[in-house]
Amino acid sequence: MREQPSNTGETGGTDRVRLSCVVNGEKVSALVEPHLTLLSFLRQELKLLGVKEGCGEGECGACTVIMNGNAVNSCLTLALEAEGARILTVEGLSNGGGLSALQEEFVKHDALQCGFCTPGMLMSARALLDRNPDPGTEEIKEAVAGNLCRCTGYYPILEAITAAAKREREGEQR
């Protein structure tokens, strides 16, 4: 396999391509096949197994990560589209050894049961709060409407996000 900087023109092909991006604050560089999804890249190459595949077709939201500030389905994003991007996954949410306010509130409000949707749900919530520190209930619902949860009936999740937003507004570190 030959290594290339990136496929800007004639040099394209099915060969592996160099991908450089920042994942959870760390610079990452790897050779990836063009058809690798961001989901597979994060799970297989970086072993970030908190990123879940629930459907693989952009409908459940379990694979949600934050790319350049936006919540996206990593299953419908090519890894190569993340060139130069900042990626945040659930593994990047904790500060040091402790839980962030958002994570803590999820636990406190029983905003999870089986937990399979939780990483994606947390990322949608994180992206929302980064954009809007004081969201109303409808805004929260809209932000997580692309994350299907089969267990909770969503209300505990809405309550957890509301509580986390309040704590963050009151100056608590994320």
Partner 1 sequence: MSQEYAVIGKSVPRKDGWDKVTGKAKYTGDLKFPNMLVGKILTSPHAHARILSIDTSEAEKLPGVKAVITHEDVPSLKYGISPARWDENIFCIDKVRFVGDKVAAVAALDEETVYKALKLIKVEYETLPAVFDPFEAMREDAPLVQEEYPRNINTEIHQNFGDVDKAMAEAYYVRTDRFKGQRTYQSPIEPHSAISIWDKDKLTIYSSTQSPHYFQYYIAREFGLPMGNVRVLKTHIGGGFGGKLEPTGLEFAGAVLSKLTGRPVRMFYDREDMFAHNRGRHAQFMELTTGVDKDGKILAVHANFVMDGGAYTSLGVASAYYAGALLTIPYEFDNYKFDMYRVNTNLPACGAQRGHGHPQPRFAFESHLDNIAKELGIDPVEIRLRNARKSNTTTPNEFKVETCALTEALEKARDLSGWREKKGKLPSGRGIGIGVGSFVSGAGYPIYRTDLPQASAVIKVNEDGSEATLYSGSVDIGQGSDTVLCQMAAEAMGYVYEKMRIVSADTELAPHDFGAYASRQTLMSGAAVKQAGEEIKTQLLAIAAPALGVRAEELDCREGIIFVKANPEINRTFGEAAREFFVKKGPLVGRGVYHVPKLGGKFKGAAVGTSPAYSFAAQVAEVEIDEETGEVKIAEVWDVHDCGKVINPALLHAQVHGAFYMGMGESVWEQVLFDAKGKIINANLAEYRLPTALDMPRLHSDLVDTVEPNGPWGVKEVGEGATTPVMGCISNAITDAIGVRIDSLPLSYEKVWRASKERKRNTSGE
Partner 2 sequence: MYLPDFEYYQPNSLAEACRLMAKFGPRARILAGGTDLLHKMKHGQLEPEVIVSLNGLERLREITYQKGVGVVIGARATHNDIAGSALLQEKYRSVCEAAHHMANNQIRNVGTLGGNIVNAVPSADLPPILIALGASVKLAGSQGRRVLPLEEFFTGVHSSVIEPDEILTEVIIPDQPSTGSTYIRFGLRRSGALAVVGAAVAVTMEGETCREARIALGAAAPVPMRARQAEAVLKNQVITPDLLEEAGVCAARECSPRSSIRGSEEYRRDLVRVLTRRALQKAIKEGHV
Q: List residues near partner 2 by CB under 8 A.
A: 6-9, 12-14, 17, 33-37, 53, 56-59, 61, 64, 70-73, 75-78, 80-81, 83, 124, 142-146
Residue type, 47: K
Q: Which of residues 95-124 bind partner 1 (CB under 8 A)?
A: 99, 103-104, 106-108, 110, 112-119, 122
Q: Left (φ > 0), alpha (ψ -120 to 50) or beta: where does 13 sit? A: left
Contact between residue 50 and residue 119 where contact means Cβ atoms under 8 Å apart: yes
Residue 73 makes contact with partner 1 by CB under 8 A: no
Q: Which of residues 3-42 bind partner 1 (CB under 8 A)?
A: none
CA terminus-to-terminus distance, the chain: 42
Residue whose CB is less far from partner 2, 104 or 162: 162
Half-sphere exposure of residue 127: CA atoms within 13 angstroms, side-chain side: 25
Total residues at the site for partner 1 (CB under 8 A)?
52
